[in-house]
A = this chain, B = another copy of it.
Amino acid sequence: MLDDERCPDCKRINEVLSRVGDRWSVLVVISLAEYGTMRFNELKRNLGISQRMLSLTLKELERDGLVNRTYHPTIPPKVEYNLTEMGLSFREPVSALGFWALENLSRIDAARETYDEAVVK
């Protein structure tokens, strides 16, 4: 049973998805794409995300080169986030996915109901 049989692209796609494919990253990118520049607590309130997860998510997105972080050492501190060029290019496939999601949510719900009824029956 060789692993070499597996499709080569899957491994790489898997790699990228495990980095930027989590829900919070996707939602942060969508928000930044829509509103441009946003502050930390602005994102937090907008997404309904916990402080901890937002902090972790933004750090990863910055590390991966999708988000710029600008720190203004004022009192109180002000930190602004916006998308890099790569972040903006990521926005296209992501918003396509988001659009599909909104379009098909009801269809998925309907399919689930049908399936669950058939199983119970």
* Identical copies of this chain, number: 2
Can you list, as one digit per residue, whether each of A68-92 has a CB less than 8 Å from chain B (1) or not (0)?
0000000000000000001001101
Q: Contacts A6-B48, A46-B5: A100 and B93 contacting too (C-beta < 8 A)? A: yes
**A13 touching B1, Cβ below 8 Å:** no
Chain B residues with Cβ below 8 Å from A5 are 45-46
Give A112 to B96 CA distance when docked, in angstroms. 26
For the side of the interface on A, what is the size category?
35 or more
Give A47 to B34 CA distance when docked, in angstroms. 35
Chain A residues packing against B (C-beta within 8 Å): 1, 3, 5-7, 9-21, 23, 26-27, 30-31, 34, 45-48, 62-65, 86, 89-90, 92-94, 96-102, 104-105, 107-108, 110-112, 114-116
Interface on chain A toward B: helix, strand, loop, or mixed SS?
helix
**A63 touching B115, Cβ below 8 Å:** yes
Q: Contacts A13-B27, A13-B102: A20 and B89 contacting too (C-beta < 8 A)? A: no
Chain B residues with Cβ below 8 Å from A99 are 93
Chain B residues with Cβ below 8 Å from A16 are 101-102, 104-105, 108
